[in-house]
Amino acid sequence: MKNKMRGSMQTFVRILRFVAKEKWLLFLSLLFTAGTAALTLYFPVLTGRAVDTLAGGNIDIGRLYDILIAMAQVVLANTVLQWAVSLLNNRVTYRTLSALRRAMFDKLWRLPLSYIERHQAGELLSVAMADAEAVSEGLLLGLSQLFQGVLMILGTLIFMIALNVKVAVFVILITPLSLFTAAFIAGRTHAMFLDQAQARAKQTGFMEEIISNQKVAAAYCREAELIREFQTLNDRLRKCSCKATFFSSLTNPTTRFVNSMVYAGVCVFGAFSVLRGGLSVGELSAFLSYATQYTKPFNEISSVITELQNSIACADRIFRLLDEAEETNGSKQLGDIDGSLRLEHLYFSYLPEKPLIEDLNLQVAAGKRIAIVGPTGCGKTTLINLLMRFYDPQQGKLYISGVDAETVSRESIRSNFGMVLQETWLKNASIRDNLLLAKEDATEAELIEAAKKSRAYGFIRHLPDKLDTIISEDALSAGQRQLLCIARIMLALPPMLILDEATSSIDTRMEMQIQTAFSYMMQGRTSFIVAHRLSTIRNADWILFMQDGKIVEQGTHEMLLAKKGRYSEMYLSQTALMQE
């Protein structure tokens, strides 16, 4: 419990650090808050004085009017200050919220790919959006309410002591009760809010997966099972949510009860003081309004504390994300490269207990065309992940143009590679914007030329808005998407190329046409090609046959055929198939 408290405190302090950028606004806000607290407290004193002028039917109208005018001034000033406080708080809150979102977005770019691919997109999204919102609403607004509450309590105490010490002491003695109940409830509900957040994240993850893949679900008629599964998650969330809501809402009635005890006590004490002549009726009325005012901040503080619990849980998750280990990045830039590449004793695995690539050695001369062949799951795509530095090897070195890849920035490495992958992600934007990803300052003519070379122009021409057609989810076929990815590379023309089954969804006739453009592009560029088509493999300068993460055979087509090993076995069985 103590550790948890300390953890919460640390989270809290870190949030404050985020807010620190707005410290002047915050300072002004606190100053004005103090002002409104003083004015709010002063008002009942004036009211009490006004009531006292009414005593015994002898009304001093002149004095009453003076007091009323003073009251009006206090009220006006207070209104202006209060408004200013909310405006300032808004600014601080929304700016901080926006900074949090930005920080997480920036973080996204520095996280290793392995982290992102290990987590459900919905989960990360929920941290970035929902949790950030909860932090801003709970923590920041809560903070200013907390400050105001504390000020009001202290101020009320001072005013009460000034009015009558005995009654004031009575109030002070009885209030810990209110604090105690509030703290007790808040402590209990923290865990419940955490449960609720977890149940919610789980459900969101489930939804994300299913909704994005409705067709598969439909093809297997899984509606009933999915709904049942959803029901389980839904019931759990409902239970957690109901518990958290109910228990946290106990704060109000219980503290209100404690307050009414205080109120009754003040009434009795005050009434006897009036009887003994220590207090006027007007002062008693001031006391009574203090008694309500005094306990109101306790109400607020206790409700703020429950909200704080929730938002600290959210802030925790935000900071956990922000604290994730980042990719190391070399500081140097990879300058002009010749395109040669060397791998030395490379080891890599996604899971420590399942080694994949072991002791991989490879030397590639500049401008060569390398085909990577092998059964599925042999590590071809993994090798490409390592080349692009999406993943880092656990051991071993990668040299590009003789430069140790670890010492240069990932960006500068990637700027030298162009890749077309099997899986084709396109931005939810126009075709033009997607092509411009590869070359920001491409001219219209360049765009069209790249589209024509990649044979994408054929379908683009038929689209309603041509290049400016917005690509929505599932609007294009897999092959069309792949054509666009190829067009991107044709536009970028980087010194090194990676083609991982780049034409797997494209029909053969069109592929032949693209192939010509590819060969032209590959001239003088070091290229890595993962492919199944024999003609592509045959034409490579060097062939790597991979199996179980190792290069088992390498050489030219002729060399490998002569070797009569795994490669020739595969090659012959395929050509046999064709002649069947």
* Site residues (CB under 8 A) for other proteins, limited to 322-361: 350
Taking CB under 8 A as the rule, does residue 559 contact other proteins?
no
Contacts (CB under 8 A) with other proteins, residues 471-530: 472-474, 477-480, 482-483, 488, 492, 501, 504-512
Taking CB under 8 A as the rule, does residue 285 contact other proteins?
yes
Cα–Cα distance list, 161 to 168, 174, 290 (Å): 5, 15, 11
For the four alpha carbons of 478, 480, 483 and 484, in that order, the dihedral sign comes to negative
Largest CA distance in the chain: 123
CB of 49 to other proteins, least distance (A): 10
Q: Which of 18, 159, 348, 571 binds other proteins (CB under 8 A)?
A: 571
Which structure tokens are listed for 290? Answer: 């203090």
Which structure tokens are listed for 448? Answer: 């069209």
Q: Tell which residue, 263, 273, 247, 251, has the closest CA to residue 175.
A: 263
Contacts (CB under 8 A) with other proteins, residues 88-117: 89-91, 93-95, 97-98, 101-102, 105-106, 108-109, 113, 116-117
DSSP string, 84-128: HHHHHHHHHHHHHHHHHHHHHHHHHHHS-HHHHHHS-HHHHHHII
Q: Which of 86, 333, 516, 519 binds other proteins (CB under 8 A)?
A: 86
Taking CB under 8 A as the rule, does residue 30 contact other proteins?
no
Contacts (CB under 8 A) with other proteins, residues 387-406: 388, 390
DSSP string, 393-438: -SEEEEEETTEEGGGB-HHHHHTTEEEE-SS----SSBHHHHHHTT
Q: Which of 27, 180, 220, 520 binds other proteins (CB under 8 A)?
A: 220
Place of tokens 């449960």: 195
CB of 238 to other proteins, least distance (A): 4
Q: Tell which residue, 85, 75, 108, has the closest CA to residue 32.
A: 85
* Between 127 and 343, CB nearer to other proteins: 127
Q: Which of 8, 82, 469, 547 binds other proteins (CB under 8 A)?
A: 82
* Between 13 and 440, CB nearer to other proteins: 440
Using CB under 8 A, which of the segments 19-27, 207-215, 304-312, 314-322 binds other proteins? 207-215
* Between 265 and 555, CB nearer to other proteins: 265
Contacts (CB under 8 A) with other proteins, residues 234-253: 234-235, 237-238, 241-242, 245-246, 249-250, 252-253
CB of 129 to other proteins, least distance (A): 5
CA dist 362 and 400 (Å) reads 12
Taking CB under 8 A as the rule, does residue 277 contact other proteins?
no
As beta bridge partners, residue 399 has: 342, 404
DSSP string, 237-249: HHHHHHHHHHHHH
* Between 95 and 466, CB nearer to other proteins: 95
Estimate the crossing angle of helix 165-174 against helix 141-163, to 10 degrees.
140
CA dist 565 and 575 (Å) reads 16
Cα 463 to chain center, whole Å? Answer: 35
CB of 51 to other proteins, least distance (A): 6
Contacts (CB under 8 A) with other proteins, residues 418-477: 418-419, 421-423, 425-428, 437-438, 440, 459, 462, 464, 472-474, 477
Measured from the Cβ of residue 97, the count of other Cβ atoms closer than 10 Å reads 17
* Between 160 and 530, CB nearer to other proteins: 530
* Between 320 and 532, CB nearer to other proteins: 532
What 3-state class would DSSP assign to 505?
A: coil
Q: Which of 340, 415, 430, 547 binds other proteins (CB under 8 A)?
A: 415
As beta bridge partners, residue 258 has: none
Contacts with other proteins, 39-68, as mask; x by CB under 8 A: ----x---x--xx-xxx-x-x-x--x---x
Reported as type and span, the H/E element at residue 295 is helix 281-323
Using CB under 8 A, which of the segments 6-14, 304-312, 413-421, 518-526 binds other proteins? 413-421
Give the binding-site size for other proteins (rule: CB under 8 A). Answer: 174
* Between 102 and 332, CB nearer to other proteins: 102
Q: Which of 9, 272, 333, 394 binds other proteins (CB under 8 A)?
A: 272
Taking CB under 8 A as the rule, does residue 552 contact other proteins?
no
Using CB under 8 A, which of the segments 77-85, 158-166, 168-176, 521-529 binds other proteins? 77-85
Using CB under 8 A, which of the segments 154-162, 198-206, 311-319, 517-525 binds other proteins? 198-206
CB of 402 to other proteins, least distance (A): 22
What 3-state class would DSSP assign to 546?
A: strand
DSSP string, 486-536: HHHHHHH--SEEEEESTTTTS-HHHHHHHHHHHHHHHTTSEEEEE---HHH
> What φ, ψ does residue 552 adopt, rounded to 5°?
-90, -30
* Between 236 and 344, CB nearer to other proteins: 236
What 3-state class would DSSP assign to 326?
A: coil
Q: Which of 20, 31, 76, 173 binds other proteins (CB under 8 A)?
A: 76
For the four alpha carbons of 428, 431, 432 and 437, in that order, the dihedral sign comes to positive
Place of tokens 């801003």: 136
Contacts 24+ apart (CB under 8 A), 572-579: 574/534, 575/534
* Between 121 and 366, CB nearer to other proteins: 121
Q: Which of 124, 167, 194, 308 binds other proteins (CB under 8 A)?
A: 124
